[in-house]
Amino acid sequence: MSASSQAAGRLASLTSWDSDWSGLRVVVAGIGVSGFAAADTLIELGAAVVVVDASQTERAQAQADTLRIVGAQDVLLGPEAVARLPKVDGAWPDLVVTSPGWRPDQALLAEAACRGVEVWGDVELAWRVRQRRGKKTAQWLAITGTNGKTTTVGMVESMLRAAGLRAVAVGNVGTPILDAIREPVEYDVFAVELSSFQLHWARSVSPLASVVLNVAEDHVDWHGSYESYLADKARIYENTQIACVYNAEQVETERMVEDADVVEGCRAVAFTTQTPAVSMLGVVEGLLVDRAFIEERRDHAAELASLEDLGPGAPRHMVANALAAAALVRACGVEAAAIKRGLQAYGPGDHRIQTVATLDGVAWVNDSKATNPHAAAASLAAFRPVVWIAGGLSKGVEYDDLVARHADRLKAAVLIGRDSSALAAALARHAPDVPVIVVGPVHTEGDRPSGEAVMARAVEIAAEHATAGDTVLMAPAAASMDQFESYAHRGAAFAAAVASIGTGRTGSEDRGKE
């Protein structure tokens, strides 16, 4: 039997924390949040672990020192460390566990594939170790989508807790699922946010219920094509046990469910912001209702909550997120009253259509989480007139449809990002009368480009174009990593820049919103 066949056989047997992980040779690709959690877990399990990362920052060095102390065989940092697959204990590894951001064509991962070395993501590893002798195993409710994941995960967590269940939001939301599994708390349910990157490397996961909230062109540079992106999103439905929840207003998600290989007896349940048919959740006369998880669903609907429970003037996408969350927890047996309490208790997180100030009648809104055109469209649709701060790492997407649909809302556009040419070209084609100002790199101490300085300049320019009744909306429609550490860093830079010009009187935060 070949070495790769032996490794495959052993990996197939690793289905719980109590399986024999000792001596398993593993390379962990990445030393960030998820990579560190994966390496730490594998070391605790007794595997021989080598960690690699291109970063040589102080934080990476500190993480490396910690992993060496707890028992990593080696930690290799720097660009050369990720150029090829390292050996572990003098032999090729049995397994590579990769961090979500690593593309499949990255040199180390590509070599692993050529050598027949299996590659898992942190989510696959988490599923394999979720069961532990003497400890309760949490059910998984899995959430993905181009937009709205974090909001929906937060709503699910709030609803579950309102029902008296021990629940926590994990995954792409920020808390590594491996850390939650290793906590002493015996959780009943995990609300698991999954990115398309994480789903690409997940094979064994079998959630209680799952949902694709929506899909739009995104991360084409990582996946290679929109079709491949959709295929990875669709993985969330594989092996689902109770309910595959889909968006009735987007046929792509319904097709994903139709094509999924699920556990026998699993149901397809839709959500819609319109009047629901049988086996759907939807809206009737201002009420969120359920026609899927009740016995008399052919003739009746169960009231879950009201639109007012989402807060005043909740936009359509927020209603859709609430219905998707409700469908997931209903699959988990949660009563209607807990859904209402959960929505009332839920507060949206930072950086998602967040009003940071209203100065001299101008509302300043931070939507740094709008990292693609689909997300930016949702926030642009909520305001007029808009001075739009946008741009960043485009991820290979197009902007024509976004600009064409919302050109009449734009008073001016201020473009950031190292290369805003695609967005500038779309504005020239579809909004030729809108002033467009491009903010180039701003150099600060040490002559290094500064994201904070770029944002400060963008805010200054936006302030020059905005008058009372306008909204300055920072909805980049692009990723942040070209000039910032993360979307949160970008949002914080925007809020800080707005605070620095905050010399006017604060007025109504709802001004300018539709």
Q: What is the pLDDT of residues 170-186, one digit of tens each?
A: 987 767 899 999 998 89
- State both tokens at 134: 């003497």
Query: Is 147 one of the annotated binding-site residues?
Result: yes
Closest CA to 209 of 248, 250, 152, 164: 152
Query: Is 121 one of the annotated binding-site residues?
Result: no
The pLDDT assigned to 286 comes to 93
Least confident of 264-278, 305-319, 410-424: 305-319
Residues sharing a CB contact under 8 Å with residue 150, sequence separation 6 or more, in sequence order = 172, 173, 193, 349, 352, 369
Residues sharing a CB contact under 8 Å with residue 32, sequence separation 6 or more, in sequence order = 53, 99, 101
The two most distant CA atoms of the chain are separated, in Å, by 76
Distance CA(371)–CA(487), nearest Å, equals 8
Q: What is the mean pLDDT of residues 124-141?
A: 96
The pLDDT assigned to 444 comes to 53
Strands 48-53 and 436-438: unpaired
Is the pLDDT assigned to residue 246 strictly greater than 90? yes
The DSSP code for 178 is H
Cα four-point dihedral sign 497, 501, 505, 510: negative
The pLDDT assigned to 274 comes to 96
Say if residue 297 is exposed, middle or buried (CB neighbours under 10 Å; 0-12, 13-18, 19+).
middle
The pLDDT assigned to 219 comes to 63
Report the percent of the chain where pLDDT is more than 90.
69
Q: Tell me the domains of the chain and their CATH numbers.
A: 3-125 (3.40.50.720), 136-345 (3.40.1190.10), 354-500 (3.90.190.20)
Please give the helix or strand (H or E) that residue 350 lies within, else none: none
Is the pLDDT assigned to residue 280 strictly greater than 90? yes
Q: What is the mean pLDDT of residues 111-119?
A: 96
Is the pLDDT assigned to residue 459 strictly greater than 90? yes
Is the pLDDT assigned to residue 506 strictly greater than 50? no
Query: Is 444 one of the annotated binding-site residues?
Result: no
Radius of gyration of the CA atoms of the chain, in A: 24
pTM higher than 0.75, yes or no? no
Is the pLDDT assigned to residue 218 strictly greater than 80? no
Q: What is the mean pLDDT of residues 57-67?
A: 93
Q: Are the C-beta atoms of residues 497 and 455 closer than 8 Å to each other? A: yes
Is the pLDDT assigned to residue 2 strictly greater than 80? no
Q: Are the C-beta atoms of residues 166 and 187 closer than 8 Å to each other? A: yes
Query: Is 23 one of the annotated binding-site residues?
Result: no
Residues sharing a CB contact under 8 Å with residue 100, sequence separation 6 or more, in sequence order = 34, 121, 122, 172, 195, 197, 198, 201
How many Cα atoms are found within 13 Å in the side-chain-facing hemisphere of 351? 18
Query: Is 417 one of the annotated binding-site residues?
Result: no
Q: Are the C-beta atoms of residues 315 and 381 closer than 8 Å to each other? A: yes
pLDDT band at 475 (very low <50, low <70, confident <90, very high): very high
Query: Is 275 one of the annotated binding-site residues?
Result: no
More confident residue, 111 or 218: 111
Average pLDDT of the chain? Answer: 90
Query: Is 66 one of the annotated binding-site residues?
Result: no
